[in-house]
Chains A and B, each alone.
Chain A
Amino acid sequence: MARTPPLILKHELLSESEARKVAKEYGVTFDKFPKMLETDPQAVKLKAKSGQVVAVHRVDPTGKYMAYRYVVKS
């Protein structure tokens, strides 16, 4: 088996203005974002509360890109 990829990706908590900018860029409201639970280990690490947006620096065979997740209560 080939070397396994790193599973933990860099997560970043966005401020409210940054989050709104991202939502505007995609032309959607926050509830249309992929979700992330408040109890998620990475959300806990960032102390993210529900209603905030977390940016994920994804790295995969197609390249490097940003993904966003909207933190919700479980």
Chain B
Amino acid sequence: MAEKENEFRVSPGEAVGVVAAQSIGEPGTQMVLRSFHSAGISSVITTKGLPRIIEIVDARKKPKSPTMRIYMEPGIEKNYEKVRSIWRKVEEVLVSSVIDGFEEDLRTGTLMLKPSKEKLDQFEINQRTLVAKLSQKEGMNVTSDEGIVKIKVKGHEIKQIRTTFVNLLNTPVIGIHGITKALVQQDDDGAFYITTSGSNMEEVVKIDGVDKERVYSNDPFEVMRMYGIEAARALIAHELKETISEEGLDVSFRHLSLLADAMTYTGSIKSVGRHGISGEKKSVFARAAYEETVKHFTNASVFGEVDDLSGVAENILIGKQIGIGTGRVKLGISKADLKKIKGSD
């Protein structure tokens, strides 16, 4: 068995990075270039295809379509009512989406909201919650009547008052900031979970009943902040694999795993390219061979950088044997042995 296992191992000196790059690059040419959004009511929109791959590999701080998957604690994951009540706490409902209209008086700084009974019922909230939420804001004087909420704002400048009004209308009444849409879905084993459009793990784990260890987000940076670098590495590899298989292509997981390893090697997420992995190489020649050749050479000469020619790119450049495969090993001889050979002839 051990012998068999050894046969499948990669030999020392194998250029795994080059193989991985080619293995990902070739199927990549067949992927859709357009960022494609499928229409539908039931699904949360996600970026797919090549744009998503580029997004991950470039380590963008804000993904185009962040999404989360929230699992429940084992005790309540099959109880639809309980999951539904959690769902209510997740989806963000803005003040502007529960009112029929508003009137503003910029002279006196008052804003009159007309909460819609229908819309409030639809989100299962009442006027009192709305008023309570608005009263939390500083410098507000909120009075409430049947079907009307009056807010008096401090301040004199019209521009300032106007900004406050706009901010007020965009205040979430319930839900988590950034979650524009949330859906309750059911797994094959009967467990319910919530998928969202928009991601905010910090807030989600504060909700009771949510499995804090199992929240899944497709934003690597958010996962890194919450769960650490190893979780981010697992996420990057999985998201790449998932995106590629969705296109009906097949790339061995070990290549993607290697890419994820390279991106998270330093303990934080580095992008692939001139600002990340390639731009931080030690060798001047290796950096110059990639992008911005002249810039690297001038900087290197100004600061007196030394290249010890230990990498692959620099040795190809100067025509020396490269340190991969059989070129990796060197032959040595001890001084005593050398004398013996010399003595013999």
Q: Give the interface of B toward A (CB within 8 A).
A: 69, 187, 213-214, 216, 223, 225-231, 234-235, 237-238, 241-242, 253-254, 257, 261, 264-268
Q: Which of A1, A11, A56, A69 has the most CB of B within 10 A?
A: A1
Q: Is the CB of A74 within 8 A of B253?
A: no
Chain B residues within an 8 Å CB radius of A4: 69, 216, 238
In the complex, the chain B residue whose C-beta lies closest to that of A61 is B253
Q: Is the CB of A40 within 8 A of B228?
A: yes
Q: Is the CB of B261 within 8 A of A7?
A: no
Chain A residues within an 8 Å CB radius of B237: 60
Q: Is the CB of A40 within 8 A of B229?
A: yes
In the complex, the chain A residue whose C-beta lies closest to that of B44 is A1
In the complex, the chain A residue whose C-beta lies closest to that of B195 is A1
A–B complex contacts, Cβ < 8 Å, 14 sampled: A2-B242, A4-B216, A6-B213, A11-B228, A11-B230, A35-B267, A37-B268, A40-B228, A40-B229, A41-B225, A41-B227, A41-B228, A42-B228, A42-B231
Q: Is the CB of B242 within 8 A of A7?
A: no
A33 to chain B, nearest CB (A): 9
B205 to chain A, nearest CB (A): 12
Q: Is the CB of A6 within 8 A of B214?
A: yes
Query: What sequence of 0s and 1s flags, for each residue 26-52 of chain A, a beta carbon within 8 Å of any chain B beta carbon?
Result: 000000001111001111000000000
Q: Is the CB of A8 within 8 A of B265?
A: no
Further pairs besides A2-B242, A62-B257: 13, Cβ < 8 Å: A1-B242, A5-B238, A7-B216, A7-B235, A9-B234, A11-B230, A34-B261, A42-B228, A60-B257, A62-B253, A62-B254, A72-B267, A74-B267
Q: Is the CB of A7 within 8 A of B265?
A: no
Distance, CA A1 to CA B216, complexed state (A):
12
Q: Which of A6, A35, A62 contacts B266 (CB 8 A)?
A: A35
Distance, CA A2 to CA B261, complexed state (A):
23
Q: Which of B187, B227, B253, B268 contacts A8 (CB 8 A)?
A: B227
Distance, CA A8 to CA B213, complexed state (A):
7
Distance, CA A72 to CA B265, complexed state (A):
12
Chain A residues within an 8 Å CB radius of B264: 34
Chain B residues within an 8 Å CB radius of A64: none
Chain A residues within an 8 Å CB radius of B254: 62
A56 to chain B, nearest CB (A): 5
Distance, CA A5 to CA B261, complexed state (A):
17
Chain B residues within an 8 Å CB radius of A40: 228-229, 267
Distance, CA A58 to CA B229, complexed state (A):
13
Known contacts A3-B187, A35-B265, A37-B267, A42 near B216 by CB under 8 Å: no
A4 to chain B, nearest CB (A): 4
In the complex, the chain A residue whose C-beta lies closest to that of B253 is A61
Chain A residues within an 8 Å CB radius of B266: 35
Distance, CA A69 to CA B69, complexed state (A):
28
Chain B residues within an 8 Å CB radius of A67: 230
Distance, CA A36 to CA B238, complexed state (A):
20
Q: Which of A5, A34, A56 contacts B265 (CB 8 A)?
A: A34
A38 to chain B, nearest CB (A): 9
Chain B residues within an 8 Å CB radius of A74: 267
A40 to chain B, nearest CB (A): 5
Query: What sequence of 0s and 1s flags, for each residue 1-27 of chain A, a beta carbon within 8 Å of any chain B beta carbon?
Result: 111111111010000000000000000
In the complex, the chain A residue whose C-beta lies closest to that of B238 is A5
Chain B residues within an 8 Å CB radius of A5: 234, 238
A25 to chain B, nearest CB (A): 14
Query: What sequence of 0s and 1s flags, for each residue 53-74 of chain A, a beta carbon within 8 Å of any chain B beta carbon?
Result: 0001010111000010100101
